[in-house]
Amino acid sequence: MAKGKFLGEFELLVLGALMRLGDQAYGVAIISEIEDRTGRKVSVGALYATLNRMEKKQYVQSRLGETSAVRGGRAKRYFAVTREGQLQVERSSAVLHRMMDGLPSWTKGAIA
Amino acid sequence: MRMSGPSFADWLIGFLAGPDMCEAIVGDLHEQAQSSGAPRRSMVIVTLRALPGLVHLGLSNISAHRYRVELGWMLGLLAAAWAWELNVAQSLAWPVASSISTISPFSIVITCKLAYLTLFALGLIVLMGGWHMINRASKPDWRVRTQRFGATVLAGLVPVLYLLTFPGPYDGHPAFRFVQLALIGLVAVTGLLVSRSMLQRA
């Protein structure tokens, strides 16, 4: 596999959040999902930079959604993982598991 | 359905980075600000409660009319500082960064943070400029000028305190806080040096 095909840690987190959220994956929901599950603070700028990059790589696709008062009348942009994106998640997860496999038991929690 | 018509900032954002992506980003920022507004509101309320006391502290023997004018001036500064930080610096950082990302030597995220800091610093500089302009127009004595300087610093300081306490949308890395502090300190010291003659007894 070429070096550029590997997903970064944050890319993997974002793709995981998109898969969990399904058709409700938009900016604020993605940030909440990652922060709730990882305890890691996510900025809007970092998220959209990553989504923009992965959309160019065709790992995700997006569509404009509805507006609401809480958003100042602005539309949501929903993101979804493409087939290519799913394959990348599977490959990266498999690589991660292969690297962790056989290590002492206390490291298992890191990828559980 | 759109709840309100596009503002000038909406138009500028659309012009700089394409309407679809920017509408989503600004909408997310707006939604985040709505959901995390409690601490921000608390800080504004605490500051508003402290303002009358601060005016009295600086100008204890002024007329009631002058007191109201100075209080209004301080409130105006405070509102302007918050409006700038929330509606301009935060909203425009991303579209500005994305429009210059091809010529920037940094990543889009760092470029975005630098754009935010630059806009934030511009706000502080505009506040200091406003202080100079009002002083030139009304020609008050040194005590009033000093009091207004205190108001200007306070108005600029409240969003800074908020930003240092609660992460903003572009505060990804802890080092960013130190850069932010250094930049704000630089603007404050420069403002003090430029304005020192106006703060001295005539």
What pLDDT score does B109 carry? 65
Hey, is the C-beta of A76 within 8 angstroms of any chain B C-beta? Answer: yes
ipTM score here? 0.80
pLDDT, one tens digit per residue, over B131-144 is 888 888 888 887 77
Q: CA of A94, closest CA in chain B: separation in Å?
A: 29
pLDDT, one tens digit per residue, over B88-118 is 777 777 778 778 877 888 776 677 777 877 8
The mean pLDDT value for A90-104 works out to 86
pLDDT, one tens digit per residue, over B127-185 is 778 888 888 888 888 777 877 777 777 777 766 666 665 544 444 455 666 777 777 77
CB contact under 8 A, B93 and A27: no
Hey, is the C-beta of B29 within 8 angstroms of any chain A C-beta? Answer: yes
Beta-carbon pairs below 8 A across chains A and B: 93
Q: What are A62-70's contacts with CB under 8 Å, separation 24+? A: A64/B20, A64/B23, A64/B24, A65/A26, A67/B1, A67/B2, A67/B3, A67/B27, A68/B3, A69/B3, A70/B30, A70/B31, A70/B34, A70/B35
The mean pLDDT value for A11-39 works out to 94
Dist. CA B184–CA B155, nearest whole Å = 13
pLDDT, one tens digit per residue, over B10-48 is 444 444 545 556 667 767 776 776 666 555 566 666 666
CB contact under 8 A, B28 and A44: yes
Instruction: Give residue B186's pLDDT band: very low, low, confident or very high (50, 70, 90).
Output: confident
Q: Looking at beta carbons, which residues of chain A come within 8 Å of B167?
A: 41, 43
What pLDDT score does B189 carry? 80
Question: How distant, in Å, are the alpha carbons of A28, B45, B131, B142, B170 from that of B55?
Answer: 40, 16, 16, 15, 34
pLDDT, one tens digit per residue, over B61-96 is 667 787 788 778 778 877 787 777 766 777 777 778
Q: Looking at beta carbons, which residues of chain A come within 8 Å of B175?
A: none
